[in-house]
Amino acid sequence: MLRSGALPATRRAVAGLTAVGAASVLLAGCTVEPPTPAPEAPVVAAVVSTSQERKILDRVSGAVQAADDATDAGTLAARLTGPALAMRQAELRVAEARGDNKLLTDLTFETQQVILPLEQGWPRSSFVITVQPPDNATPALAAFEQSSAREQYKLWGFVHLAPRVTMPRFAEAELGSPAVAADDTSLKASPQAAVEQYASVLTAGEDSRYTDNFAAADDDELRLQLRKSGANQVAQIEDKDGEGSFEVAYEPAKGPVKAVRTADGGAVVLAELLSLETLKAEEGWRLTPATPSAKALWGDAKGTDVMKIAFRNTVALYVPPAGSAEQIGLLGFHRVPYAVSNG
């Protein structure tokens, strides 16, 4: 289409030849390609903001508080899932049996650090580390899950950090931290393998084939507690001139594990374990539970020479990157008894 007053293309070309001569003839057959713009670097950012995470935490806490006030676990599934749901249900059964909420875990989530998801797809997981609670318990590490775009974020699991533990570093919250697959091979052991190996170590102790993969028993708060609890219970039997034994067996639950990348290329892994503690005495003994939670579940059952307590456990492990000289270590755990039997 020609503008008013513009020369047709052929006339402009002739005029150009007249004005600049042969040099224009040489240029006439050349095509100059415009420069290709450099591709922009991909933007790396969390898919959840810190303010959005705060709203998630408040809504979860509100749902938990409502269930606590009513001592009713029926509404928890709207905001809890996975091991967190099963463990809170068990805690509420204890609260109902006792007639008070004194043994319920504080789930108000006043945070000192948030670890936000990076992935665009689902499921997504975020994590928070809480401040030191007023009851002198250690801070908690909690994982939240959004299973699909239409689902609400729900509390998936939580642990109390072990005393004196040093948490690994994560990416800044606004950048987001990538999830780690259960079968990831960039670590000293895949998240799923690390959980399975840890269950073996908790069960068999130094006799486990995986003992050398983990920090020493004296540096593992859960193993220390199990050893101390078993020794104390057997000692109480022996103090009355009896003979006793204590055994514990751990296995991974069937659900998925949660894992998030740390700044050094390792991962923090959260998983549910099921365990059974068995205390035995000589025939004729009447064993009964000692802890408040187990007593509440026991009720008025009659004691025998065998007592079994089943627990739900959530554990958090630090798994170093492949090639690291560091061992897999326990970061924290939470245990809740859910069944007690006399044989």
pTM of the shown model: 0.86
SS3 content of the chain, % helix, strand, coil (to 5): 30, 25, 40
* 8 Å CB contact between 258 and 270: yes
* 8 Å CB contact between 124 and 145: yes
Handedness of CA 96, 101, 105, 110 (dihedral sign): positive
Low-confidence ranges of the chain (pLDDT < 70): 1-44
Number of Cβ within 10 Å of residue 281's Cβ equals 23
- Coil, strand or helix at 188: coil
Q: How far apart are the first and last CA of the chain?
A: 96
Of 218, 249, 179, 222, whose CA–CA distance to 315 is shortest?
222
pLDDT at residue 28, rounded to an integer = 42
pLDDT at residue 32, rounded to an integer = 46
Residue 246 sits at the vertex; the CA angle it makes with 314 and 317, to the nearest 5 degrees, is 25
pLDDT at residue 22, rounded to an integer = 42
DSSP for residue 321:
B
pLDDT at residue 1, rounded to an integer = 40
pLDDT at residue 304, rounded to an integer = 95
What are residue 130's phi and psi, to 5 degrees? Answer: -85, 170
Of 266, 261, 256, whose CA–CA distance to 176 is shortest?
261
